[in-house]
DNA sequence: ATGTAAAATAGGAATCATTACTATTTTATA
DNA sequence: TATAAAATAGTAATGATTCCTATTTTACAT
């Protein structure tokens, strides 16, 4: 049951911490592979799942059919650009309030919240304006 | 390009409207099949996707690996019980405010919002209290 | 009513992200 | 060092969803 150290897990974790976007398992794999060519995709998945279960990282499902992983476990929400697919952080002050409000009107126990906005990011808006 | 009527699509849509939970494609299939035994799962998927693209229903990804479908397209959020897996509606008044707040501090165009709470629902809490 | 073209269907095959399996290797510890 | 638990690589399996195609249905003009 106790977790033992592994170089692979360390690399996966470290890589995730360097990224502000929210890479998929495959992106993690492709990157960690540069430094550790023999690592297998299964190992990446297993460790991402393990780290997420332990609360050290966060698994995101933003609706593009692929899981994303976030090294930042603080309460924050995300924005998904429906044009380029990028997932970025979006800071909002009212999340704590929202949490307590939801809890007040609900008879179960709320443990986690996940908010995601969808639309077109600034860069993609610019891109389209130039085109037309 | 123009959409033609089909009995199958009608049944799928009608079924979704009778439900307050948020069934998966397979649940829709199993139910519609009672009334229309020859319908195929592919048809269910195709029509759910088509209706969602047209904005007549809503596709939900709550993180259990399966897509859920919601006949209510108004702005509301959801609660997922991590114990029984049920997905229920959760009404909150501040969603509009949240939307405009998010838009104010963000330089892209926000079109959609999706908020999901996770925890243990009232029924499951009761269940566990009785047990111990 | 009938013919016709576009749209939809049933059924099955294909895809693809993720998980499961297993023999081997690595880690921690006595 | 010896040993048991944990982790890995590599590959097979799973399962939700999409794709494909021959056939059927719908809408509409004649």
Nearest CA in chain A to B80: A110
B84 in reach of chain A (CB within 8 A): no
Give the pLDDT score at B131: 57
Domains of chain B, earliest start first: 7-131 (1.10.10.10)
* Percent of the residues in chain B that have a pLDDT greater than 90, as a whole number: 83
Give the pLDDT score at A129: 80
Strand C, nucleotides covered by protein (CB < 7 Å): 6-13, 17-21, 26-28
A42 touches strand D (CB under 7 A): yes
Measured between alpha carbons, how far is A33 from A121 in angstroms, rounded to an integer?
A: 30
Give the pLDDT score at B40: 98
Three-state SS letters, A8-77? HHHHHHHHHHHCCCCCEHHHHHHHHHHHCCCCCHHHHHHHHHHHHHCCCCEEEECCCCCEEEECCCCCCE
At B38-75, the pLDDT tens digits run 999 999 999 999 999 999 999 999 989 999 999 999 99
Handedness of CA A121, A123, A126, A130 (dihedral sign): negative
Cβ contact B92:A102 at 8 Å: yes
At B10-25, the pLDDT tens digits run 999 999 999 999 999 9
Measured between alpha carbons, how far is B68 from B10 in angstroms, rounded to an integer?
A: 18
CB contact under 8 A, B98 and A98: yes
The CA–C1' separation of B50 and C5, in angstroms, is: 22
Give the pLDDT score at A62: 92
Residue B32 pLDDT > 90: yes
Give the pLDDT score at B91: 87
At B89-115, the pLDDT tens digits run 998 988 988 999 999 989 999 999 999
Measured between alpha carbons, how far is A120 from A85 in angstroms, rounded to an integer?
A: 9
pTM above 0.85, yes or no: yes
B74 in reach of chain A (CB within 8 A): no
Give the pLDDT score at A93: 86
B100 in reach of chain A (CB within 8 A): no
Cβ contact B101:B47 at 8 Å: no
Q: What is the mean pLDDT of each run of 10 residues along chain A (132 residues)?
A: 92 97 97 97 98 96 94 95 92 89 92 94 88 55
Measured between alpha carbons, how far is A122 from A90 in angstroms, rounded to an integer?
A: 13
Give the pLDDT score at B126: 93
């Amino acid at each position: 049951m106790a977790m033992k150290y592994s170089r692979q897990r360390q690399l996966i974790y470290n890589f995730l911490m360097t990224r502000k976007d929210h890479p998929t398992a495959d992106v993690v794999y492709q990157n960690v592979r540069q430094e550790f060519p023999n690592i297998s995709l299964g190992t990446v998945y297993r460790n991402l799942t393990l780290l997420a279960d332990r609360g050290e990282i966060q698994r995101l499902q933003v609706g593009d059919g692929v899981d994303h992983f976030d090294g930042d476990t603080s309460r924050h929400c995300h924005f998904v650009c429906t044009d380029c697919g990028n997932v970025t952080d979006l800071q909002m002050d009212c999340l704590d309030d929202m949490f307590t409000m939801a809890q007040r009107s609900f008879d179960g126990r709320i443990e986690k919240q996940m908010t995601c906005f969808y639309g077109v990011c600034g860069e993609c808006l610019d891109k389209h304006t130039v085109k037309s």
